[in-house]
Amino acid sequence: MLGFSSRAFHRGIPYKMFDREHYGLEAKNAHILERVYYKGQANVWDGKEVLGSLLERFGKPQVPEETKRALKRVFAIILWGELAAWRISAELADEIEPLEAKMAATSQAFDEARHFYVMHDYLQALDATPDRLDWGPRRLLEEVMNADHLAKKLLGMQLMVEPIALTLFHVVKKLDIEPVLTHLLPYYERDESRHVALGVQYLPAMLSRMSALERAELWAFQAKLLTYEVVSNYWVANDLYHLGINPRELLDIGKAKQFRAMELVVPKWGQVSNLPSFVVGRYVECMGELSLPAGGKPLPLRERVGNAWRALRHGGEPVTLDLIPEIPDDAVPLIHREQEKPAKKARLSVASAA
């Protein structure tokens, strides 16, 4: 048992958890994963303090009623997505065996709990607490939560859902729709950037131990999730337009971030196999042309089918971007960095004592 299957199994003591090679985890990847844990500790923020100080500074969030409705529907996906991320990272922390990857997943679960309650409290202050999700985003999150393999959960959450959330945070922040939200989102972005690392650093180890059939199932799973992402975008397209966001651009940027993450994973995996990503990429471009035409205007079905066929044959416009946003320290003033020094010192003294 390599600790990959997500089905219930008898838990024994994982005596091999210190043996990276047993899990195909390279030393440099393990080192980065360990740092994710310590960075998480050093960059911790108090959700009550941050939201409280922003509410004190800008007052109760107020936006026009129609904007509130749009924010409520779009951020329902974020709120329940944070809960899904919390549950999945807690599950990864439990089931992943190598020490450093387990530490990184544990640190993420701690962050996601904060993201969930702070987002809930913010939406409550806005008087826009969401209840149920629409079909598309609900299926997307439930597919990842109920995946039958840890690699699917890792790919689905860290490399597909997290990059979409990062894209949405970035765009909403730039539009400055509501000042409390604008100043709250950089804290989320800081944390989410670390979470992508768990997928990028640990998925290659998982892939290296999977059979050809399991890998084929993983790419099929990726295509299924991308379909639900397109459907989810379509579902909230009018809300996004209302907020000043082009849903097709959001889809293209989110997809580009996902494929950038996959590019980082595949070379580390050590096998030349861009074909699955290529096929999945063309497929999702085709779906995008059918559901959300690039110009942002509704097009007759015939024209959309023509564009989809062209996208399938030639691909779409390439989007180049950074996977992880740079968040300057002054955008997150309530991250108390002084905590970093004692934590590092304590660890060094233990290491030097050993």
Binding site for Fe ion (CB under 5 A): 82, 85, 112, 115, 192, 195
Shortest approach of Fe ion to residue 351 CB, angstroms? 29
User: How far, in Å, are 193, 231, 303 from residue 323 at the CA level?
Assistant: 8, 23, 32
Least distance to Fe ion from the beta carbon of 44, Å? 14
Closest approach, Cβ 66 to Fe ion, in A, equals: 27
- 83 vs 311, beta carbon nearer Fe ion: 83
- Listed in sequence order, the DSSP H helices in the chain are 27-42, 47-58, 65-95, 99-125, 135-145, 150-153, 162-175, 179-208, 212-235, 237-243, 247-269, 275-291, 301-314, 340-353
Q: How buried is residue 351: exposed, middle or buried, by Cβ count under 10 Å (0-12/13-18/19+)?
A: exposed
Q: Which is nearer to Fe ion, 110 or 283 (CB)?
A: 110
Whole-number CA gyration radius for the chain: 21
Measured CA to CA, the distance from residue 334 to residue 313 in angstroms comes to 49
Q: How far is the CB of 158 from Fe ion (least distance, A)?
A: 8
Structure tokens at 177: 């729709």
Assign 96 to helix, strand or coil: coil
Nearer to Fe ion, 149 or 195 (CB): 195
In the complex with Fe ion, which residue's Cβ is closer, 14 or 130? 130
Minimum distance from CB of 45 to Fe ion (Å)?
13
CB 104 within 8 A of CB 198: yes
Considering the complex, what minimum distance in angstroms separates the CB of residue 85 from Fe ion?
5
Pick between residue 225 and residue 237 the one whose CB is nearest to Fe ion: 225
In this complex, which beta carbon is closest to Fe ion, that of residue 97 or of residue 192? 192
CA distance 201 to 26: 9
